[in-house]
Amino acid sequence: MATQNRTWMRDAGLLLAALVLCQGVGALAGYVTQGPVQTWYPTLNKPFFTPPDWLFAPVWITLYAMMAVAWYLVLRQGWGDAQVKQATWAFLVQLALNGAWSFVFFGMQSIAGGLVVIIALLLAIRWTLKRFRPLSKPAFWLLIPYVFWTMYATLLNGTLWMMN
């Protein structure tokens, strides 16, 4: 019974830490985005497939939660496993690039810089998927919507760069 309680507490702590870190990155990105999304971003020429502004927050909150759960499923395998460490490094790199995109694109108002970062992000997500898949198929699949949204965001970023 005591072992079950320790395992449950450890797992709850891992999940909470993953959620706090992922949603924290999202909150920082949202903070950096707030001003420019009202001042600079509306002045840009945008393609017809640009989503409405209200859609971004719920999509990202959901994606960050799914990323956190995916990482938690990998972390549950045990930190002593070298594959878990490699998967965690890949995950943290892509998470850092994810946050960096908002700072570059919105904070620095650099469309070209944002495009460079988001392409690097796609490569880091691919690296993460390769590391997650052998450890947890559910973790792998939880990241698939994130991949598709990031691909869409890359198309949008690239089109904004061409149009502006």
> How do residues 49-95 score in pLDDT, each as one tens digit?
999 999 999 999 999 999 999 999 999 998 889 999 999 999 999 99
- The pLDDT score that the predictor gives to residue 11 is 82
pTM of structure: 0.94
- Give the integer Cα–Cα distance in Å for 122 and 131: 14
- Of the listed ranges 79-83, 127-131, 139-143, the least confidently predicted one is 79-83
Are the C-beta atoms of residues 91 and 98 closer than 8 Å to each other?
Answer: no
pLDDT at position 9 is 82
Give the chain's domains with CATH numbers. 2-163 (1.20.1260.100)
In this model, does residue 160 exceed pLDDT 90? Answer: yes
If you average pLDDT over every residue of the chain, what do you get?
Answer: 95
Alpha-carbon gap, residue 156 to 96, rounded angstroms = 20
Distance CA 163, CA 54 (A): 22
Classify residue 101 as exposed, middle or buried by CB count within 10 Å of its CB (0-12, 13-18, 19+).
Answer: buried
- Given a cut of 80, whether residue 41 has pLDDT beyond it is yes
pLDDT digits (tens, 9 = 90+) for 1-30: 666 777 878 888 999 999 999 999 999 999
Q: What span, in angstroms and rounded, lies between the C-alpha atoms of 67 and 146?
A: 8
